[in-house]
Amino acid sequence: MFLSCLGMSCWKPTSNTDSSLRQFSTVIQELCQQFSLADLRKATNNFDLNRVIGNGMFSEIYKGYLQHNGASDYTVAIKRFNDQGCEAFNKEIELLCQLRHPRCVYLIGFCNHENEKILVYEYMSNGSLDEHLQDGKLSWKKSLEICVGVACGLHYIHTGAKRSIFHCILGTSTILLDDHMEPKLAGFGVSVQGSRFMSKQKQINAEHFMGTWGFMATQFIRDRTITAKWDVFSFGLVLLEVVCRRMFYVINLAEKEFLENPIEEKIDPIVKGKIAPDCWQVFVDVMVNCLKYEPDERPTMGEVEVQLEHALSMQEQADITNSNCDYTLLSKTIIPLGVKQYVILEKCN
Ligand SMILES: Nc1ncnc2c1ncn2[C@@H]1O[C@H](COP(=O)(O)OP(=O)(O)OP(=O)(O)O)[C@@H](O)[C@H]1O
């Protein structure tokens, strides 16, 4: 039934049997509400462009109001895919139905009506992390809490689901913030499911990732494989953005110059004096390790999560005794990205 509602042209299973697909579609129907196109037109005032709150690679995202959970004006985010978005639509339903975790955006339902492929999510009222980094109002402690939350979400998708999931395009624009400024992972349209056995790597076709080169960890470019360590590298770039308050979508030679200087000199002036030296030491170690060239040398997200929680508690302890003065960081840390790594990353530009 679900197959017919999705339409075979969009749903292209590769290895499942008919009966396993039937079971899978039943599970999706149980977990996800199905909306009519009329419901979603009404919810968005006929896809009024004034309601657009974001743009995805294959979609536009609208703010909408629906009948849900007994409320007649329940606020939701409605992602309407374009003609190229069919695969991303299928992928997000498949993955997000399996993910029920406070650090992953919640998929409420979907609509599949002829060419209209639409997903309905919980509304994340505080938008994406990149917007907050740009407007400069995010405190250091809140930033650190957000990083801990994101690490927790990544740890979950890597190890907590039946099969590990690799996000693949993690960045500050795919980290969304709810009413309480708690982070959730979003943007699962090109994510990849690993094997049941964590140690195995997944062979991937490069075209799958159109336009997302900036987030690519070096092992992919070298080996054409994806592992959890890919997301770990991307998470290292997120940490870098959080302290520098500037984007690192693509590391090219201009970024190389930027990073050849101690990172302490590049910390955003608004946050710099707020970072306790003990906290910084742990934080910068995690960041440097996440950005290691060799995937095997990068930590797991479980290790990263523990370390960042430790950094947060160091910050909290320091703040108890020092409530007035700014801190001074005396360390000088160069992120040891190898020349080879710059060249490889620059090629991706
Ligand atoms: N649930 C939501 N609540 C609020 N805003 C959202 C929500 N989902 C997405 N957005 C907004 O839309 C932007 C793009 O969303 P998202 O990251 O899901 O796109 P994408 O993964 O690139 O899309 P696609 O599936 O087309 O590839 C986000 O940065 C955010 O501003």
Is residue 35 located within the same domain as residue 66? yes
CB distance 76 to ligand 1 below 6 Å = no
CB distance 121 to ligand 1 below 6 Å = yes
- The CB density around residue 279, as the number of other CB atoms within 10 Å, is 26
Q: How high is the pLDDT of residue 68? A: 76
Q: Is 334 within the bounds of a domain?
A: yes
Is residue 171 located within the same domain as residue 292? yes
| Bridge partners (DSSP) listed for residue 81 | 59
Is residue 146 located within the same domain as residue 99? no
Q: Is 137 annotated as a binding residue?
A: no
Q: How high is the pLDDT of residue 195? A: 67
The residue type found at 330 is L
Angle between the 18-31 and 86-98 helix axes, to the nearest 10 degrees? 70
Is residue 55 located within the same domain as residue 181? no
The DSSP code sequence of 108-137 is: EEEEEETTEEEEEEE--TT-BHHHHHHHT-
Is residue 39 located within the same domain as residue 142? no
Cα of 186 vs centre of ligand 1, distance in Å, is 7
Question: pLDDT tens, 198-256?
Answer: 545 555 554 555 444 444 545 455 556 778 988 998 899 899 999 998 776 545 555 56
CB distance 236 to ligand 1 below 6 Å = no
Q: Whose CA is nearest to atom 29 of ligand 1?
A: 173
Residue whose pair of structure tokens reads 């500050």 in the numeric block: 172
CB distance 172 to ligand 1 below 6 Å = no
Q: What is the rounded distance in angstroms from the CA atom of residue 128 to the CA atom of residue 180?
A: 13
Is residue 104 located within the same domain as residue 135? no
> Which value, to the nearest 10 degrees, does the dihedral of the CA atoms of residues 112, 85, 157, 177 take?
-90
CB distance 52 to ligand 1 below 6 Å = no
> Which value, to the nearest 10 degrees, does the dihedral of the CA atoms of residues 307, 152, 249, 285 take?
0
Residue 76 maps to which CATH number? 3.30.200.20
Q: What b-and-e string marks burial along 22-55, b requiring 16 or more CB atoms within 10 Å of the CB? A: eebbeebeeebeebeeebbbebbeebeeebebbe
ipTM over 0.85: yes
**Residue that terminates a domain, selected from 91, 122, 153:** 122
Q: Whose CA is nearest to atom 30 of ligand 1?
A: 54
**Residue that terminates a domain, selected from 69, 102, 122:** 122
Q: Is 196 within the bounds of a domain?
A: yes
The DSSP code sequence of 288-330 is: HHHT-SSGGGSPPHHHHHHHHHHHHHHHHHHHHH-SSSPP---
pTM of the model: 0.86
**Which atom of ligand 1 approaches the CA of 89 most closely?**
25
Residues of the chain with pLDDT under 70: 1-29, 195-224, 248-259, 337-349
CB distance 174 to ligand 1 below 6 Å = yes
Q: How high is the pLDDT of residue 342? A: 47
The CA-based diameter of the chain, rounded to the nearest angstrom, is 66
For 337, the 3-state DSSP assignment is coil
The DSSP code sequence of 188-221 is: -TT-EE--SSTT--EE--GGGGTT-GGG--HHHH
For 77, the 3-state DSSP assignment is strand
- The CB density around residue 255, as the number of other CB atoms within 10 Å, is 20
Question: pLDDT tens, 298-321?
Answer: 999 999 999 999 999 999 999 999
Q: How high is the pLDDT of residue 190? A: 83
**Residue that terminates a domain, selected from 58, 90, 122:** 122
Containing structural domain, residue 243: 129-348
